[in-house]
Structure 1
């Protein structure tokens, strides 16, 4: 009887905890990040090792551009689960966003850690799309003197192509646009659009026509074509 009574005493606490997490999750999905953060923090006090709560708090910090907090939470996950590619990716992403918000000298000191996090994620998961996109962008945007390389960027664009043709063509188009090879970019974006027929592939090609190639006729024709298929 005492054991049964003890269980019933704990039941309200369990129900409250579950309700708190569920409410926080709903608020997060609705974009109510500040309110969700408060509930997740309260839930974490009684469930300090709850992985999903820690990840949500990291995601909330990212949405609120609180990069130090995001790094803190993702680092905890990365240390606890060193073979989880997604945690390494999120950690590297938070570092990368912080690097963009600080002075150039401090940002330079963060590049090795950012690159290492993304490379680790790529090694751990051969099909992790977001990591390969991050590496494409990183190697394209970094100056060659500190590790930037079109060859490296293309390597990960090719890896993306092996996972999904659409992302492969989008990544190659992105590289072409960065280096102002707009005719090549058109070919790659056109292929991604023909395969994907998505809002993303349309936007990339439409933006190229309108803002890079300055071809309003092609842009309009593409828009009419896309609108018919939506």
Structure 2
């Protein structure tokens, strides 16, 4: 009899929890993030180890640029599901964004965790393109004394080229642009645009003409050609 009573008591809770999660998902997909957050947080109290709920809350925190919270949620997701590459990538990304907000000394203390997260994402998914982009940027931005390395950035760029020719040329262009080798960057961005013909490849080359080469005429002509 006691077991029967317990079942009847638990059923409404389970139904409410499921309903709370489903409503949260609908709100999230409708980009009503604050309303979704309230429901997901309530659901998480009943199921603290639910991977998807932690992921949604991490995404909402990232949308709000609350990088500490985002990192906490993504850290939980990677611990709950350590075979999912994206969770390690998102955790590393949240740490990287947080590092941009704090003083350099504290930020440098987070570098190893970022590296490990992105490298783990690649080991779990050898075709993970965003994690390689993140490592390229990390090795470009870091001072040499703390592990910054053009050669390592180039190494990941070469890996990108094997996975996606467009990303390969874009990343080579990014490295050249960072080191102010603008003529070489232009060549790589042109090749990327010839293959990709996308808004992203256009924007990279257009910005180079306009902001780095200081050639508004070339930028304008390129834009007209792209939009034709």
Q: State the partner residue of 2:3.
A: none
Q: 1:199, CA displacement in angstroms?
A: 0.7
Q: State the partner residue of 1:216.
A: 216
Q: 1:62, CA displacement in angstroms?
A: 1.2
Aligned pairs, number: 226
Q: How does 1:121-140 map to 2 (within 5 A)?
A: 121-140=121-140
CA offset digits 1:125-174 (Å, max 9, x no partner): 11001100000100011111100001000111111111111111111111
**Structure 1 unaligned regions, length at least 5:** 1-5
Aligned partner of residue 122 in structure 1, secondary structure:
helix
**Structure 2 unaligned regions, length at least 5:** 1-5
Q: How does 1:22-37 map to 2 (within 5 A)?
A: 22-37=22-37
Q: How does 1:78-157 map to 2 (within 5 A)?
A: 78-157=78-157
Aligned partner of residue 214 in structure 1, secondary structure:
coil
Per mean C-alpha deviation after superposition, the further-off stretch among 156-165 and 10-19 is 10-19
Q: 1:12, CA displacement in angstroms?
A: 6.1
Q: 1:83, CA displacement in angstroms?
A: 2.5
Normalised TM-score (structure 2): 0.90
Q: 1:11, CA displacement in angstroms?
A: 6.8
Contact residue 99 and residue 110 of structure 2 kept, 8 A: yes
Normalised TM-score (structure 1): 0.89
CA distance in structure 2 between the aligned counterparts of 1:40 and 1:96, rounded to whole angstroms:
25
Contact residue 170 and residue 201 of structure 2 kept, 8 A: yes
CA distance in structure 1 between the aligned counterparts of 2:12 and 2:116, rounded to whole angstroms:
45
Q: State the partner residue of 2:202.
A: 202
Aligned partner of residue 191 in structure 2, secondary structure:
helix
Q: 1:30, CA displacement in angstroms?
A: 3.5
Q: State the partner residue of 1:48.
A: 48
Q: CA 1:176–1:47 in 2, change beyond 3 Å: closer, same or farther?
A: same
CA distance in structure 1 between the aligned counterparts of 2:200 and 2:19, rounded to whole angstroms:
37
Aligned CA-pair RMSD: 2.2
CA distance in structure 2 between the aligned counterparts of 1:226 and 1:7, rounded to whole angstroms:
65
CA distance in structure 2 between the aligned counterparts of 1:11 and 1:222, rounded to whole angstroms:
63
Q: 1:36, CA displacement in angstroms?
A: 1.3
CA distance in structure 1 between the aligned counterparts of 2:82 and 2:47, rounded to whole angstroms:
21
